[in-house]
Amino acid sequence: MTDDKSSKPESKTGNFSRRDVLSITAAGALAAATAPISRIASAQAKKPINISFWTFENPQQRPWVHKRVNMFMEKNPNVKVDFQYFAFGDLGKKVSVGFATGTAPDGFVSQDWFMPTWQAKGLLAPLDVQRLGYSSLKTFTDDFAPAFVAGAVQKGKAYGYPLWFYGYVNYLNTKQFKEVGLDAAKDWPKTWDQLGEVAKRLTIKEGNKFTRQGFKFAMHTAAWTMFQFNAILHQCGGAWFDKAGKCTINNAAGLKAMTIRASIAKQYGAEDPADSIATGPLPQMDWLKERASMFFCHPIPPAAIESQNPKMLSEGYFRPVQYPGVQAGKGYTTTYGFNLVVNARAAKEKQEALQDMYKFMMSDLGDAWKDTAPFPPARKSGWADKPEVKKFPYVDEIIIARDRGVALPQTVVYNELGDAVHKGIQQIMLNNADIQKTLNEIAAEVDRATAAFKPT
Amino acid sequence: MPGLFTLGGPRRIRFHQRVQLWGIGFVLPTILFFAVFKFGPMLWAVGLSFMSYDMMSAPTFIGLDNYRNLVADPVFRASLFNTLVYIGGSTSLITLVGLGLAVAIKTRVPGARYYMVGMFLTNLIPIIVVCLIWRFLLHPHGLMTQLLHPFGIQRVDWLTNSSLALPAIIFVTVWRFAPYFMVVFLAGLLAIPEDYYEAARLDGANAVSRFWHITLPLLAPTIFFVVVVSALLSARIFLMPYFMTGGGPGNATRVLSMLIFETGFSYLKMGQAAAISVVLFAIMLVFTFAQMRLFERGELKSVG
C-alpha cells in the first residue's frame, strides 16, 4: 500500500457523516463476527455423519483415544462420534454381540488376535492406505513391525491401522537383585536355565509359604497365559499348528516349551502358582507389591507403578530386560497390539470419515507418547526420535522387544486355543498333571474346535 | 359389537361366558408378555440347537450335529458332571442347614433373633462382593486355612486344587443361600399348631420323635419347595464359579451355565450353546418332576 493510496480514504473520510462511519464500522464488525460462523456453516453444509466407535478401557490409552476423537470432532463439526469403551476382556464379546444384533460399531479398536475371526467372516472393510497418508501398501507395511503386518494385512489389503503394538519384557526388581548379591545390569537372566537359577536365589520361603517368589508367571487369565507362553513355544522351535491346521502343541518342541514353563516352580521351586494377588486389571500386582522379583509384562506406565508402589518409582529400583532365550542372547518375546478397524457393514461415507479420523488420531504420535508412555506406537516413524521418547528410561528395551517379538497365532479358534492352554497349564502347575498327556488333551480340544468352525 | 355384553336379544352371551371373556381379557396381556419374552426365546433356543450360528452370519440347519459334538466333548461331560455334583451337594446342604437353623431359632436358643438377622445379611451382600471376599478367605494362606493351624494344617489350596475347588464353591453357596431358606423353613415351622407338640409331649414323645413324626411330615410341602427352588437355583449357578475359579483348575469347577456362556459368546458357537441350554433345561425338568413324584408318593403314603 503506497502513501498515496492510503491517503485517499483518509481524505474521503472527512466527507462522511457520522451515521456513514457508524454504518461502515457496524458492517465491518458484522462481517468480522460472521466470518467464523460462515466457515462453520460451510462445514455444516456437509452432510452430517454420525459414527459409533468403541475401544477398551485402559487408564492411559483410553483417555488419549477419547481426546483425539474429540479433537477430530472439533475440526469436523459435521462428524459426530458416539464414543464408548468397555473392559479389556469384554470388548471382543461386545463387538461379536453387536455384529449379531446389528448394533456393531462403525469403527472399533480390535485386539490383533481377533483379526482373523473378523476377517474370516468378512466383517472388516479394507482400508484405503492412501487416505491414511501412505503412497502404497508397501510403504504402509514397511512402516510397521512384521508381527503387526502378519495380523492386519490379508491378500494385498490392509484391514487394520495399528495403534499400539508392544512386546513383553522381563521386569526386574533391582533392589532385590542387590539384596542377594546380584547386579541386575549384568546378571539379568539371558537363558531359561539362568532365569530358574536367579529366581531360586531371589526366592524367600517360610516353611511352605513363599514370602517372595523369585519369578512369577501369570495364572489369572487365558490371555496372559498365551502372551507369556507363545514366545517360549517359538523359541523351542515349536508352532501352534501345522500346515494342515492341526494343533501341534503336543509335539517334542511343545513338550520342551511346557517343561521350561513348568520348571521355574517344579525344578527350581522359585514360584508358587497357587499364590497370587494378581487381578485382570493389574496382572503385575505381585511384582509391584514386591512379592515377586521378576515378571514378564507389557511396558508398565510410571503412573501404574506409582499407584501401587510409589517408593519403587521414586527410587527407580526396577528395570525391564529382554526375555530369556533357549540360547543366550537370542531371547525374544510375544508381540501383540491393537488395530483401528472399520466395520464392513458401515455406510461408505462413515467408512471414509472413520479413516480420516484414524489418520488424524495417528498424526501426532509425540502426543500419544506424552499421554501413554511407555506403550510404543506400532508405527516405526514419527515418534521414536523425539527427545521425550529418547530420554524415557529403558525405552530401547521396549522398542527392541516390540521389533524382535513373535506374533500370537493367527487362528479363527484363538479363544478356544487360549482357554485350552490355560486350563492345561492349570492342570500341570496346580494338579501335577503329566505334561505330555495334558498337551495331547489341549491339542485334541483345539482340533475339535477347528473342525467345528464353519467359515462364512 | 352392539349387544355383545347386553342381556336379552338373539346374540346375547351367557353370564358365565361373559365372566370368562373378562377373565381372558385380564390375563391376556400377561400371557402375551410371557409368550413373547419367555416362551418365545425358549422355543427359539430349542430351534437354534439344531443350527450352526456364529451370530454374524445367518443360521444354517445342521440337524443333530450340535448334540453329537456335545456327546464327544470331554469338556461338556466334565461340566455336566460338575453341575450334577453341584446341584446335589448344594441342594442337600442348603436344605439340611436351612432346616437346622430354622429349628434352632424356633427352639429359641439364646440370641436366636440376632443370629437370624446376622445370617440373613449374607443375602444382602452383592454376589460379586461375596465372591471377592471368599477368594481372599480361601487363599492358600487365608483365614480359612489359618483356622486350621491349631490342627497342624499350614496350607490348603481350597480353590486351586481340583478335588477341593468344587466343594469350596458348594460351601460358599450354602453360606450364602441357607439363611434365606432358613426363613422359609421358619415360616413353615411357625405354621405348625403347637397343640400337636403338646399332645405328643403328653404321650411321652421325645424331641426326636416329635421332630420325626410331627415336624417333618407337616413341613413336607415346605421342604419340597426349598428342594426344588434351591435345585433350580443351583442348576443355573454361574457367577460363583466364574468369579472365584474361572471354571478351573482345568475344568474342575466348570458348570454348564459357564460352558453355555463361553461357547456362545467367546467361541461364537450359538447353536452349540443352545444345545447345552436344552440339556440343562432337561436336567431341571427331570429333577423337578422326580421331586414332584417323590413328594406326591410321600403325601399319599401319609394319607393312606
Any domain includes B5: no
Region of poorest pLDDT, from A252-266, A285-299, A344-358, B213-227: B213-227
Any domain includes A26: no
Asked if residue B294 and residue B179 are part of one domain, the reply reads yes
Any domain includes A290: yes
Asked if residue A357 and residue A213 are part of one domain, the reply reads no
Asked if residue B161 and residue B28 are part of one domain, the reply reads no
Any domain includes B54: no
Any domain includes B2: no
B177 to chain A, closest Cα gap in Å: 27
User: Quick one: cell of A332?
Assistant: 525374544
Asked if residue B80 and residue B38 are part of one domain, the reply reads no
Region of poorest pLDDT, from A11-20, A325-334, A371-380, B58-67: A11-20
Question: Which domain-ending residue is among A407, A429, A444?
Answer: A407
Look at chain A and report how many structural domains it folds into. 2
Phi and psi based region of residue A394 (left: phi greater than 0; alpha: psi -120 to 50; beta: remaining): left
B276 to chain A, closest Cα gap in Å: 15
Q: Indicate the pairing of strand A157-158 with strand A204-206.
A: unpaired
User: 3-state DSSP helix/strand/coil percent for chain A, to nearest 5?
Assistant: 50, 15, 35
Mean pLDDT of chain A: 89
Asked if residue A173 and residue A297 are part of one domain, the reply reads yes
Which residue in A99, A423, A452 is closest to B269 by CB distance?
A452
Asked if residue B32 and residue B71 are part of one domain, the reply reads no
Any domain includes B102: yes
Region of poorest pLDDT, from A2-6, A39-43, A128-132: A2-6
Whether omega for the bond prior to residue A374 falls within 30 degrees of 0, making it cis, is: yes
Contacts of B289 (CB under 8 A, 6+ apart): none
User: Quick one: cell of A260?
Assistant: 521350561
Question: Which CA distances in Å does A169 have to A196, A227, A324?
Answer: 16, 11, 9
Asked if residue B70 and residue B184 are part of one domain, the reply reads yes
Any domain includes B114: yes
Domain interval for residue A94: 49-167+335-407
Mutation for A interface: B267, B270, B276, most A CBs within 10 A: B267
Cβ separation of B249 and A430 shorter than 8 Å?
Answer: yes
Nearest residue of B to residue A441, measured between CA atoms: B74
Which residue in A93, A97, A423 is closest to B251 by CB distance?
A423
For residue B290, the model assigns a pLDDT of: 85
**Mean pLDDT for the stretch of residues A39-60:** 80
Q: Does A436 touch chain B (CB under 8 A)?
A: no
CA atoms of B11 and B4, how far apart (whole Å) = 7
Please classify residue B22 by burial: count the beta carbons closer than 10 Å to its beta carbon, then call 0-12 exposed, 13-18 middle and 19+ buried.
exposed
Any domain includes A17: no
The model carries a pTM of 0.85
**Mean pLDDT for the stretch of residues B19-24:** 91
Asked if residue A434 and residue A285 are part of one domain, the reply reads yes
Contacts with B55 from chain A: Cβ below 8 Å: 96-97, 99-100
For residue A17, the model assigns a pLDDT of: 56
User: Quick one: cell of B137?
Assistant: 478367605
CA atoms of A323 and A270, how far apart (whole Å) = 17
Asked if residue A157 and residue A280 are part of one domain, the reply reads no
Nearest residue of A to residue B139, measured between CA atoms: A275
Any domain includes A176: yes
User: Quick one: cell of A74?
Assistant: 472439533
Q: For B74-108, what is each residue's pLDDT tens digit?
A: 999 999 999 999 999 999 999 999 999 999 888 87
* CB–CB contacts below 8 A, A to B: 80
Q: For B260-286, what is each residue's pLDDT tens digit?
A: 999 998 888 999 999 999 999 999 998
User: Quick one: cell of B283?
Assistant: 436336567
Any domain includes B84: yes
Region of poorest pLDDT, from A188-202, A268-282, A294-308, A331-345: A268-282
Asked if residue A278 and residue A229 are part of one domain, the reply reads yes
User: Quick one: cell of B56?
Assistant: 454374524
Any domain includes A250: yes
Alpha helices, DSSP H, located in chain B: 15-34, 40-48, 65-72, 74-106, 112-120, 127-137, 143-146, 162-190, 194-202, 207-210, 216-235, 239-244, 256-261, 270-303
For residue A127, the model assigns a pLDDT of: 96
Asked if residue B165 and residue B112 are part of one domain, the reply reads yes
Asked if residue A380 and residue A282 are part of one domain, the reply reads no
Q: How many CB atoms lie within 10 A of CB B214?
A: 17
Q: Does A175 touch chain B (CB under 8 A)?
A: no
For A163, the enclosing helix (H) or strand (E) is strand A161-167
Q: For A25-42, what is each residue's pLDDT tens digit?
A: 555 555 555 555 544 544
Asked if residue A201 and residue A79 are part of one domain, the reply reads no
For residue A450, the model assigns a pLDDT of: 93
Q: Does A345 touch chain B (CB under 8 A)?
A: no
Q: Does position A3 have pLDDT exceeding 50, yes or no?
A: no
Contacts of B239 (CB under 8 A, 6+ apart): B127, B128, B131
Question: Which CA distances in Å does A443 have to A79, A257, A337, A446?
Answer: 48, 15, 26, 5
Cβ separation of A97 and B55 shorter than 8 Å?
Answer: yes
Q: How many CB atoms lie within 10 A of CB B203?
A: 9
For residue A32, the model assigns a pLDDT of: 52
Asked if residue B148 and residue B44 are part of one domain, the reply reads no
Mutation for B interface: A93, A224, A426, most B CBs within 10 A: A426
**Mean pLDDT for the stretch of residues A266-273:** 96
Look at chain B and report how many structural domains it folds into. 2
Any domain includes A11: no
For residue A1, the model assigns a pLDDT of: 34
Question: Which CA distances in Å does B266 have to A65, A247, B273?
Answer: 26, 19, 11
Interface of A with B in 16-75 (CB under 8 A): none
Contact A371, A66 (CB under 8 A): no
CATH classification at residue A61: 3.40.190.10
For residue A318, which phi and psi values (nearest 5 degrees)? -150, 160
Q: For A59-117, what is each residue's pLDDT tens digit?
A: 999 999 999 999 999 999 999 999 999 988 889 888 988 887 889 999 999 998 889 88
Whether omega for the bond prior to residue B249 falls within 30 degrees of 0, making it cis, is: yes
Asked if residue A78 and residue A225 are part of one domain, the reply reads no
Contact A306, A313 (CB under 8 A): yes
Asked if residue A294 and residue A152 are part of one domain, the reply reads no
In chain A, the percentage of residues whose pLDDT exceeds 70 is: 89
Say whether B146 sits in a helix, a strand or coil.
Answer: helix
Which residue in A423, A433, A449 is closest to B267 by CB distance?
A449
For residue A43, the model assigns a pLDDT of: 47
Mean pLDDT of chain B: 89
Q: For A133-157, what is each residue's pLDDT tens digit?
A: 999 999 999 998 777 777 788 889 9
Asked if residue A216 and residue A325 are part of one domain, the reply reads yes
Q: Does A452 touch chain B (CB under 8 A)?
A: yes
For residue A107, the model assigns a pLDDT of: 98
Asked if residue A343 and residue A296 are part of one domain, the reply reads no
Cβ separation of A415 and B266 shorter than 8 Å?
Answer: yes
Q: Does A431 touch chain B (CB under 8 A)?
A: yes
Which residue in B55, B56, B267 is closest to A416 by CB distance?
B267
Q: Does position A301 have pLDDT exceeding 70, yes or no?
A: yes
Domain interval for residue B105: 65-303
Any domain includes B91: yes
For residue B121, the model assigns a pLDDT of: 85
B158 to chain A, closest Cα gap in Å: 10
Asked if residue B147 and residue B253 are part of one domain, the reply reads yes
Which residue in B73, B162, B266 is closest to A431 by CB distance?
B162
Cβ separation of A452 and B272 shorter than 8 Å?
Answer: yes
**Res. A189 pLDDT band, cuts 50 70 90:** very high
Asked if residue A448 and residue A384 are part of one domain, the reply reads no
Any domain includes A22: no
For residue A126, which phi and psi values (nearest 5 degrees)? -65, 145
CA atoms of A192 and A260, how far apart (whole Å) = 7
In chain A, the percentage of residues whose pLDDT exceeds 90 is: 70
Asked if residue B213 and residue B100 are part of one domain, the reply reads yes
Q: For residue A331, give the amino acid letter.
A: G
For A86, the enclosing helix (H) or strand (E) is strand A79-86
Which residue in B249, B265, B267 is closest to A431 by CB distance?
B249
Asked if residue B141 and residue B252 are part of one domain, the reply reads yes
Please classify residue B291 by burial: count the beta carbons closer than 10 Å to its beta carbon, then call 0-12 exposed, 13-18 middle and 19+ buried.
middle
Asked if residue B204 and residue B294 are part of one domain, the reply reads yes
Looking at A288-333, which runs of residues are DSSP E strands? Answer: 294-297, 318-321
For residue A337, which phi and psi values (nearest 5 degrees)? -170, -160
Asked if residue B108 and residue B72 are part of one domain, the reply reads yes
Any domain includes B59: no
B259 to chain A, closest Cα gap in Å: 12
Q: How many CB atoms lie within 10 A of CB B210?
A: 17
Which residue in A123, A274, A448 is closest to B160 by CB distance?
A274
Which residue in A93, A208, A423 is closest to B265 by CB distance?
A93
Q: Indicate the pairing of strand A161-167 with strand A153-154.
A: unpaired
**Mean pLDDT for the stretch of residues B201-221:** 92
Contacts with A452 from chain B: Cβ below 8 Å: 69, 269, 272
CATH classification at residue B237: 1.10.3720.10
Q: Does A427 touch chain B (CB under 8 A)?
A: yes
